[in-house]
Amino acid sequence: MIELLYWIGLAAVAVSALTGVIEAGRRGMDIVGVAMVGCATALGGGTVRDLLLDRTVFWITDQTYLIVALLTTLATFIAVRGLRLPPRLFLIPDAIGLALFTVAGTQVALGMNAPWLVASLLGVITGVVGGVLRDVLCNDVPLIFVRGELYASAAWAGALALIGLQAAGVSGVIAAWAGMAVVLALRLAAMALQITLPTYQERE
Amino acid sequence: MIELLYWIGLAAVAVSALTGVIEAGRRGMDIVGVAMVGCATALGGGTVRDLLLDRTVFWITDQTYLIVALLTTLATFIAVRGLRLPPRLFLIPDAIGLALFTVAGTQVALGMNAPWLVASLLGVITGVVGGVLRDVLCNDVPLIFVRGELYASAAWAGALALIGLQAAGVSGVIAAWAGMAVVLALRLAAMALQITLPTYQERE
Amino acid sequence: MIELLYWIGLAAVAVSALTGVIEAGRRGMDIVGVAMVGCATALGGGTVRDLLLDRTVFWITDQTYLIVALLTTLATFIAVRGLRLPPRLFLIPDAIGLALFTVAGTQVALGMNAPWLVASLLGVITGVVGGVLRDVLCNDVPLIFVRGELYASAAWAGALALIGLQAAGVSGVIAAWAGMAVVLALRLAAMALQITLPTYQERE
C-alpha cells in the first residue's frame, strides 16, 4: 500500500509539473520562471496539505519528489519548446494528476488520524491547490473556480468514495484504485458531456 | 473566556464566509469555486496565524469551524443566488468579522506567549488575511491595500487596546469586548466619515 | 558566524522592505497597504523557508526583524513619498537583498541538516519568495518569472557555491561571503550585459 502510494505520488508530481510548464510557457516566461511554476504546480498541493497537518513537507523528507519535478520540468521545456500545442491535449494528464493527488492526499490525511470530512477536503486540497497556485502565479483567476466541468467536485466524490469503502472494510489498495477511478470517470465524463455546476449569476 | 472566544470564532467564520460568497459570486464562479473562496475567506486568516505560531490548525483540531464555513457558504449561495445586492450591504458584516477575528487572533497569540507586538500583528493577520486571500483568488489587488477607510489600522488599534487593557489588569473577557468595540467603532466611523490614510502618490 | 548571519538577515530585511514600499507606492496604496506589502516582501521568503523546515518563524522568535521591517517601511514611506523615482534605482539594493537572503536561507537550511539540493533551493526560496509575494499582492505576474536577467538562477549559483565550498572544507564565514559575491556578481553582470535565459516562446 505504502509502495503504491509512493509511485502514485511520483506520477502525480511528474504529470502536474508538465501542465505547469505548458501554462507558464504560454506567458513567455523564461526557463527559470517555467521551472518555478512547474515545481509549484507539482509540489504545491502536497506542501499545503503537509503544512496544514503539521507534517514534515514530503519533498524535504524525500528529495526524489523534488528531483522528479525538476527533471520533468526541464525535459518538457526542452521537448515542447516552440511547439504549437492544442490546450485541450493537456486536460487528460491533468485529470490523471488530479485523481492521483486526491487519493494520495486523502490517504496521508487518514494516516494522520484526521476526521473524515477534514481528510476528504485535504484530499481535494492536495488535488487542486497546485493548479490554483499555478494560475495565481500566472496572474489568472484560478481555472477551477470558473470553469464548471466537475473538477474539485470530482475530486471530492473520489475522496469520499475512498473513505466510504475503507470504512466499509474494503482494503486500502482497492479503495485507492476505486477512488482514482471515480475522480477520473467523473472528470472525463464531465468534459465529454460538458456537465457543469450551477453558477452564482448575480446580475450587475 | 475560552467559551466566549469559541463563539466569537464561529460567528467570525460564518460572517466571513458570507462575504467571500458574495465576492466570488460576482465573478461568475460556480458553486464549487464559490465554496472554495468562501472557505478560504472564512478560514484563511486563522490558518495563517496557526501556521506562523506552529500550532495545530484550528479547523483540523475542531471540524465545527469547517462545517460552519461550508454550511454558511452553501446557504448563502442558495439564498442570494441571482439577487442583485448592493455591495455596501456587506460592509457591516465584514466589519463585524474583522472585529471578531482580530480579537480571537490576538487572544490566541497571547495564549501562546507571543510578545505584544507580534501578538497584535497576528491579530491583524487573523482579521485581514482571509479577505486578502479572497481578493488574490478573485484576481484583484486586495481591497484593504487600496481603499483607505481604516481597515487594518482599525484592527491594529483594537488589538493594542485589548493587550493594553489586559496588561493594566482588566479581565480578559472585558478586554476582549473592549477590543472588538474599538475595531468596530473605528471602522464604522471611518466608513461613515470617509476617513482615509495618506497614500504614497508617486507620480509617474 | 551566527553573529554574521544575524546582521546579514537584518540588512536583507531592511533592503527588501524598501523595494516593497516602492512597488506598493506605485499602485496608490495607502500607508497601511504599503506597510503590509513592505513587511510581506521583507519577511515572506524567510517565513516560507521556516514553515517548510518546520522551524519557528524567525520574526516570531526574534521581534527585531519585525521592528526593522516596520521602521524601514515607515521611514521609506515618509522619505520618498511623492518623489518621482527611476525604477532602475532600486535594482541594486534589490540585488543586495537577494544575495543576503539567499546566503542566510541556505545556511539556515544546512543548519537543519537539509540535504544539499533542498538546502540550495530553500536558499533560492528565501531570496525570491518575498518579491513573488510582493508582485502577487500588487496583482502582477511575478517579475522574476518574466524578466530573464538571471535572478533566481544567480541565487541558485550562489547557494551552490556556498554549499560546494563548505563541503570542500572552507570555513562557513568565507563560504558565506563567496556565495554572496557569486549572487551579486552574476545578477549585476546580467543586468549590465542584458544576459537573459531562453524563454518558452510557444506561438499561438
* A199, three cell numbers: 453558477
| Distance in angstroms between the alpha carbons of the first and the last residue of chain A | 52
Residue A198 placed within a domain: no
Residue C13 placed within a domain: yes
Residue type, C73: T
- The answer to whether B24 contacts chain A (CB < 8 Å) is yes
Indicate yes or no: CB of C117 within 8 angstroms of CB of A60.
no
Length of chain A: 204
Which of A52, A139, A145 is facing B57, going by the closest CB pair? A52
- The answer to whether C78 contacts chain B (CB < 8 Å) is no
Rounded to two decimals, the pTM is 0.83
ipTM for the assembly? 0.77
Q: State yes or no: pLDDT of A15 exceeds 60.
A: yes
Nearest to B143 by CA among C18, C16, C82, C30: C30
Residue B114 placed within a domain: yes
pLDDT tens, residue order, chain B (204 aa) = 667 778 888 888 998 888 888 878 777 777 888 888 899 999 998 899 999 888 888 888 888 999 999 999 988 888 877 666 666 667 787 888 899 999 999 998 998 888 888 999 999 999 988 888 888 887 777 777 665 677 888 999 999 999 999 999 888 889 999 999 999 999 999 888 877 777 766 444
Indicate yes or no: CB of A36 within 8 angstroms of CB of C139.
no
Residue A102 placed within a domain: yes
Task: For residue C37, list chain B residues with Cβ-Cβ distance below 8 A.
Answer: 145
The minimum CA-CA distance between B196 and chain C, rounded to whole Å, is: 8
Best C145, C183, C197 residue to mutate vs chain A (most A CBs within 10 Å): C145
* Confidence at residue B32, expressed as pLDDT on a 0 to 100 scale: 80
Task: For residue A143, list chain B residues with Cβ-Cβ distance below 8 A.
Answer: none
**Secondary structure letter of residue C197 according to DSSP:** P
**In chain B, whose CA is at the least distance from the CA of A133?**
B137
Task: For residue C60, list chain B residues with Cβ-Cβ distance below 8 A.
Answer: 52-53, 114, 118
Q: Which chains touch B (3 or more CB pairs under 8 A)?
A: A, C
The total domain count for chain B is: 1
- The answer to whether B65 contacts chain A (CB < 8 Å) is no
Task: For residue B24, list chain A residues with Cβ-Cβ distance below 8 A.
Answer: 145, 200
- The answer to whether B27 contacts chain A (CB < 8 Å) is yes
Domain that holds residue C102: 2-193
Least-confidence region, from A59-73, A78-92, B98-112, C44-58: A78-92
- The answer to whether A194 contacts chain B (CB < 8 Å) is no
The minimum CA-CA distance between B18 and chain C, rounded to whole Å, is: 23
Tell me which residues of chain C, numbers 129 to 168, contact chain B at a CB-CB cutoff of 8 Å: 136-139
Q: What angle in degrees, to the nearest 10, is found between the helix axes of C63-80 and B116-137? A: 60
Q: Is C119 left (phi over 0), alpha (psi -120 to 50) or beta?
A: alpha
**CB-based burial, B114-129: b 16+ in 10 Å, e otherwise:** bebebbbbbbbbbbbb
Residue A200 placed within a domain: no
**In chain A, whose CA is at the least distance from the CA of B81?**
A200
- A112, A127, A174, B67, B91 from A107: Cα distances, Å: 9, 12, 12, 21, 40
Mean pLDDT value across residues A125-137: 86
Which of C36, C47, C83 is facing B202, going by the closest CB pair? C83
Cα(B54)–Cα(C183) distance, integer angstroms: 32
- The answer to whether C58 contacts chain B (CB < 8 Å) is no
Task: For residue C51, list chain A residues with Cβ-Cβ distance below 8 A.
Answer: 51
pLDDT tens, residue order, chain C (204 aa) = 667 778 888 888 998 898 888 878 777 777 888 888 899 999 998 899 999 988 888 888 888 999 999 999 988 888 877 666 666 667 787 888 899 999 999 998 998 888 888 999 999 999 888 888 888 887 777 777 665 677 888 999 999 999 999 999 888 889 999 999 999 999 999 888 877 777 766 444
The minimum CA-CA distance between A152 and chain B, rounded to whole Å, is: 7
Cα(A126)–Cα(B53) distance, integer angstroms: 23
Residue A39 placed within a domain: yes
Task: For residue A139, list chain B residues with Cβ-Cβ distance below 8 A.
Answer: 139
SS3 C44: helix
- The answer to whether B41 contacts chain C (CB < 8 Å) is no
Q: In the A/B pair of chains, how many CB contacts fall below 8 A? A: 97
DSSP string, A160-201: HHHHHHHHTT--HHHHHHHHHHHHHHHHHHHHHHT----B--
Q: State yes or no: pLDDT of A202 exceeds 50.
A: no
Q: Which chains touch A (3 or more CB pairs under 8 A)?
A: B, C
Nearest to B109 by CA among B160, B157, B69, B66: B160
Which of B63, B80, B83 is facing A118, going by the closest CB pair? B63
**In chain B, whose CA is at the least distance from the CA of A202?**
B82
* Confidence at residue B203, expressed as pLDDT on a 0 to 100 scale: 42
- The answer to whether B192 contacts chain C (CB < 8 Å) is no
- The answer to whether A12 contacts chain C (CB < 8 Å) is no
